[in-house]
């Protein structure tokens, strides 16, 4: 079993109940500290999806909406799954991640079936263009960024993922942000593992917050995230492009697209998050067309 699969493992303990435990190997480590500040949101969602799909009549989570209510501790927790509908083509469940009687994450998940390759039955099909990324060898091997490594080299999430970022979106690392809320890059795990629905749940929340491109810094907690699985991904690195439409009042939105190695759109997401505390604001005129 891979490290990632160990981190999102669930154990059925009753009707609609699953025991889970948060894995510090996928935690966001507090900068300058030795204890995790929070779990990566994508890993938390993947853990919940593992419980939902265990009893689903359909194999894929086609639509997931998750509200992040509280920061979990690295202690045991439970996922409670209630099915609202089970139909021929789609089923919908309500899933609550609970720790010490408090709901940490509340999600609604609709499951269905998706193609593993290009559709050939003549049905209507159209999609946009994948992101334009430099060759993977010319991208920046991101490695740990501020907020992912604590004192004495304690590492969490950043030690498990392989991020190769478009150099145009990494100026913030050297104190020269681009002035645009965008992030683009290749994503995968450092261990050998083909992408699937669970890894897509991680991929849509995998890049540094887009507001880093505006000079913001620090942990930017997600409040709500909705993502759609559009196809079963092919083996190989994923391409992820994220952007923002609006930053105001300490809040920002982030939209992401995930494309597989075959050039197919396999996931989309939109989330609302808080700008990190201590962030500074950088204003810049829009770039000319």
Q: Which of 180, 232, 182, 177 is nearest to 207 (CA)?
A: 182
pLDDT in tens, 75-101: 899 999 999 999 999 999 999 999 999
Task: Tell me what the mean pLDDT of segment 241-257 comes to.
Answer: 97
Domain 3-113+134-274 - what CATH class? mainly beta
Q: Which pLDDT score is estimated for 26?
A: 87
The residue among 142 and 266 whose pLDDT is bigger is 266
CB-count exposure of residue 117 (10 Å: 0-12, 13-18, 19+) = exposed
Amino acid 283: pLDDT: 35
**Backbone phi and psi for residue 57, each to the nearest 5 degrees, phi listed first:** -75, -5
- Report the predicted TM-score, pTM, of the whole model to 2 decimal places: 0.89
* pLDDT digit string, tens, across residues 208-230: 999 999 999 877 889 999 999 99
- pLDDT at 55 > cutoff 60: yes
pLDDT at 233: 96
Averaged over 178-195, what is the pLDDT? 95
Residue 25 token pair: 């190997």
User: Cβ distance 197 to 64 under 8 Å?
Assistant: no
Q: Which residues contact 278 (CB under 8 A, 6 or more apart)?
A: 217, 218
Residue ranges per structural domain of the chain: 3-113+134-274
Dist. CA 140–CA 147, nearest whole Å: 18
- Alpha carbon distances (Å) from 99 to 37, 72, 76, 82, 103: 16, 8, 7, 17, 7
């Amino acid at each position: 079993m891979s490290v990632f699969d160990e981190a999102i493992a669930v154990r059925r303990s009753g009707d609609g109940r699953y025991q889970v435990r948060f894995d510090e190997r996928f935690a966001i480590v507090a900068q300058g500290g030795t204890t995790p500040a929070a779990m990566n949101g994508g890993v938390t969602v993947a853990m919940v999806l593992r419980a939902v799909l265990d009893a689903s009549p359909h194999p894929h989570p086609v639509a997931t909406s998750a509200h992040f209510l509280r920061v979990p501790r690295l202690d045991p927790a439970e996922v409670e799954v209630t099915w609202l509908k089970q139909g021929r083509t789609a089923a919908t469940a309500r899933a609550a991640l609970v720790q010490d009687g408090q709901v940490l994450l509340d999600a609604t998940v609709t499951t269905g079936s998706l193609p593993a390759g290009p559709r050939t039955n003549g049905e209507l099909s159209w999609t946009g263009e994948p992101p334009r990324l430099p060759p993977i060898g010319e991208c920046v091997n991101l490695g740990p960024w501020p907020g992912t490594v604590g004192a004495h080299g304690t590492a969490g999430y950043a030690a498990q993922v392989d991020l190769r970022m478009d150099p145009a979106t990494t100026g913030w690392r050297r104190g020269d942000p681009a002035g645009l809320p965008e992030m683009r890059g290749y994503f995968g795990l450092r261990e050998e593992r083909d992408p699937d629905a669970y890894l897509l749940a991680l991929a849509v929340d995998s890049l540094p917050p887009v507001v880093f491109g505006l000079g913001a810094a620090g942990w930017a907690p997600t409040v709500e995230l909705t993502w759609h699985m559009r196809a079963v991904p092919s083996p190989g690195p994923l391409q992820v492009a994220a952007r923002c439409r609006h930053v105001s009042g300490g809040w920002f939105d982030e939209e992401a697209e995930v494309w597989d190695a075959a050039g197919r759109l396999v996931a989309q997401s939109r989330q609302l998050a808080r700008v990190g505390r201590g962030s500074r604001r950088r204003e810049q005129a829009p770039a000319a067309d």
